[in-house]
Chain A
Amino acid sequence: MEYLDQLFVFAKRLMLDLLARFLPDWIVLVASMVISIVAILIFAPLTMMYLTLLERKVVGRIQNRIGPNRVGKFGLLQPIADGIKMLTKEDIVPFQADPVLHFLAPVIIVMPALLIFAVIPFGRGMTAVDLNIGILYFIAVSSISTIAIFMASWGSRNKFSLLGGMRTVAQMISYEVPMVLSVVPVILVAETLSTNAIIEAQSAGWFVWTPWGLAGFLIFFLCAVAECNRSPFDIPEAESEIVAGFHTEYSGIKFALFYMAEFISVFAVSALAVTLFLGGWKGPWLPSWLWFLLKAYALIGVMFWFRGTLPRFRVDQLMGLAWKFLLPLALINIFVVGFWYFSPGLWKWVGSLGILGPSFWIFTKLNRSYVPENRVYRLAEDENNETVGA
């Protein structure tokens, strides 16, 4: 059990021990970094490839279809076929596009997605870099992708791309605020910014089982979905409105890179949500890394489920949700965690729920334009009119 749990850690240590016999210390240090980087560079694209397959399968099943099943058993080789197709496709650059920006954007967008992996604790002792400012690092790095998307949209010189880019910048900036604020309660309680320490702080119980944890988790998760431009917040690449948004003018491998960045960040934010609220790699019986992956994939599954169910917000409603609903709720959540921390026993529960519930209700009522109206429909016969509500 212990061996299984620490499988990857042992493997790495074995390699380093082997190297340490004949090589100087600094090379071993470099090798240690290289091993971690290579592991991430293999893991991330592989995850992305099979997430595309998983998404198509899950959404297919939701729609009572089979999903891809032609390439390999159960379509398991489909991602490889897709990759070959992408690689061999013609790379089209629009006539008046800015060649430098157009080329750089897909390259830059993959980087922050990969960089986030550095601080993700995949299992006990399986963090590539155990930064003591892990969360801050995550927040800082993940905002880089906004620039890349804007480069893509501006460099394409296409009106649809431009609209998509403007939407992206507005959306990413708006959602970063409640996202950061929803993490604050966790940091306050765990008294650290390091991802590993936050998981250790959840030994007694996952944060999601507390009122402020649940609220924070929901806010964080919604913002994370928005940060990845996934449905129902996928307005930057809204297919039915602006064709493909910022990547309208990309084809072949460049398009694949945008796709890869999206799926890698889907995994990254899910992993972060697991770390922050769902107890990270903690769990009985199974190896820690398996627990972590299971939880992360469950969250990703929920994102696919969203995609299979929900229509998309409009751009102003999206902003409204972030600024008028999630942001004040996240602020109140910070207050609630203070109350929770300093009050005894049952009071904690009564007080926190007593604050969160009514404030949720009040914010829904205040955002009256977003609350569905009840409609009454007449059913006209010639003489008697009956009514039905909807």
Chain B
Amino acid sequence: MDEKTVTVQDTNPMDTETLEVNFGPQHPSTHGVFRMNIVLDGETIVSVKPVMGYLHRNHEQIAENLTYAAVMPYTDRLDYFNSMANNFGYALAVEKLARIEVPERAQYIRVIMAELTRLVNHVSVIGFLLNDLGAFFTPVLYAFREREKILDIFEAISGSRMMCNYFRFGGVKRDVSDADLEQIRKIVQKFPAFLDEFEALLTKNEILCMRCQNVGVLPPDLAVNASITGPVLRASGVNYDIRKVDRYSIYERFSFRIPLGDKGDVYDRYYVRILEMRESVKILEQALKGIRPGEFIHPKSTSFLKLPRNFKPPVGEAYGRVESPKGELGYYLVSDGTPQPWRYHVRSPSLINLTVLEDLCVGHKVADAIIILGSIDIILGELDR
């Protein structure tokens, strides 16, 4: 058949051209230097191609050339919003590799820090999601108001607001003073009231509901097949939380529940995060009640803290994972008996959760792609590593 006749027959005169638009790397709401290659038919999305790697810093290769202890500050820079959770995962992996025990007080401090980090992350993510929805910074600044208080605590305890570098193999860097614990108690006490205010502003807002409900629905089977983790998975109704599944650290001592979503749309992802914060507050209350004076680091590990080159884990491999606020954050380590890891790999939730982006976006409008991206909650430092 002649080619020309085919095109004439197949083309409807009312058909319009598709438009290919690059969202990013310089775009106000791609959460960093991330690029979405979107093909648009009018306002409707035909295809999405994520382009990443603009923030690639060779994290894993750098780590393989450093001592085990010196990797710790680099893990801060992965997911720069929750450095404590990153520290936690790496510390667990190395402790598994070298079979180091952690004293009880250190475990409590770790859990408190991890849950505070979850509050920081979820509250800011919701703020940023609302910014993507077009609110003029109000939810973000309310979130940041609370976040600042928690960051002040981090600064008092670890020395830095965001790049905490606080966890050590076998404990934590420094002890937490009673004054700091009192400060944390105050924040935890006030947090539910803030969440109530936040919810009054957002949860029932008709515009938010219109925009978020039934947008970017992630079916549970797709979520499981794409190995999505974290709040995104739980919003689809799959009961999977590493704190419950793995029972790492001392999470089995606390009673808390896992909020599960209904439909798996953007709204569920938003609300599951709110409910998760309420559960985190419960964990924090129990942990603050249970913490007792004691050692904050295992006495054996103080020796190799002073001399990181003498720390040589036995030959073998280990995988340590935590429920970071974004999902399953795992560190895979292979030791060959030298002071440097032979292989170091990070399983970052941001990257793996992003793989379903196209499935969620196709068929929706441009504005939806932005909020779907916002609801998946990516951090480019972790995505590109």
Contact = CB atoms under 8 A, between A and B. Distances in A.
A314 B365 CA distance: 8
A79 interface: no
Interface string B195-223: 00000010111111111011000000000
B365 A234 contact: no
B370 interface: yes
B239 A380 contact: yes
Contacts of B138: 59, 62-63, 308-309
A182 to B, nearest CB: 21
Given A64-B145, A240-B133, A380-B258, A370 B365 contact: no
Interface string A194-222: 00000000000000000000000000000
A204 to B, nearest CB: 36
B262 A313 contact: no
Contacts of B42: 166
B135 A315 contact: no
A377 B262 CA distance: 6
Contact of B205 (A308, A310, A314, A375): A310
Given A63-B138, A160-B21, A308-B138, A241 B367 contact: yes
A65 interface: yes
A167 B367 CA distance: 12
A63 B19 contact: no
Given A243-B28, A310-B207, A311-B205, A163 B259 contact: no
Interface string A283-318: 000000000000000000000000111111111110
B271 interface: yes
Given A64-B141, A64-B145, A240-B131, A314 B263 contact: no
Interface string B178-208: 0000000000000000000000010111111
B260 A375 contact: no
B242 interface: no
Interface string A233-244: 011001111110
Interface string B351-378: 0000000000000011110100000000
Nearest to A378: B260
Contact of B263 (A309, A315, A372, A375): A375
B292 interface: no
Nearest to A65: B141
Contacts of A160: 21
Contacts of B135: 309-312
Contacts of A388: 275
Given A314-B367, A375-B267, A380 B29 contact: no
B365 to A, nearest CB: 6
A308 B206 contact: no
B134 A381 contact: no
Most chain A beta-carbon neighbours within 10 Å: one of B133, B279, B365: B133
Nearest to B144: A63
A313 B136 contact: no
Secondary structure at the A interface, as helix, strand, loop or mixed, is mixed
A64 B143 CA distance: 11
Contacts of A377: 259-262, 268, 271-272, 275
B137 interface: yes
Given A381-B257, A386-B257, A390-B271, A316 B365 contact: yes
Contact of B133 (A307, A311, A373): A311
Contacts of B132: 240
A162 B19 CA distance: 10
Contact of A372 (B27, B213, B244, B365): B213
Nearest to A315: B43
A375 B262 contact: yes
A247 to B, nearest CB: 14
Contact of A163 (B204, B258, B262, B366): B366
B210 A372 contact: yes
Interface in A236-293: 238-243
Interface residues of B, number: 54
A30 interface: no
Which of A239, A310, A371 has the largest count of B CB atoms less than 10 A from its CB? A310
A379 interface: yes
B142 interface: yes
B257 A380 contact: yes
Contacts of B29: 239-241
A375 B265 CA distance: 11
A162 B366 CA distance: 13
Given A238-B367, A242-B366, A379-B258, A372 B206 contact: yes
B19 A159 contact: yes
A174 interface: no
B69 interface: no
A362 B16 CA distance: 37
A90 interface: no
A370 B209 CA distance: 8
B361 to A, nearest CB: 13
Contact of A59 (B40, B136, B209): B136
A382 interface: yes
A376 B259 CA distance: 10
B130 interface: yes
A333 interface: no
Given A163-B366, A240-B28, A311 B257 contact: no
A312 B134 contact: yes
A163 B370 CA distance: 15
A313 B133 CA distance: 8
A121 interface: no
A231 interface: yes
A232 interface: yes
A162 B263 CA distance: 35
Interface string A349-370: 0000000000000000000001
Contacts of A238: 134, 367
Interface string B235-259: 0010100001000000000010111
Contact of A241 (B259, B268, B271, B366): B366
Interface string B121-162: 000000000111111111001100100000000000000000
B318 to A, nearest CB: 27
Given A235-B367, A377-B272, 7 more contacts: A59-B136, A64-B145, A308-B138, A311-B135, A313-B210, A314-B367, A381-B255
18 contacts: A64-B141, A240-B132, A240-B134, A241-B134, A309-B135, A312-B133, A312-B367, A314-B210, A317-B210, A317-B211, A370-B206, A372-B206, A373-B209, A373-B213, A373-B214, A377-B261, A377-B268, A381-B258
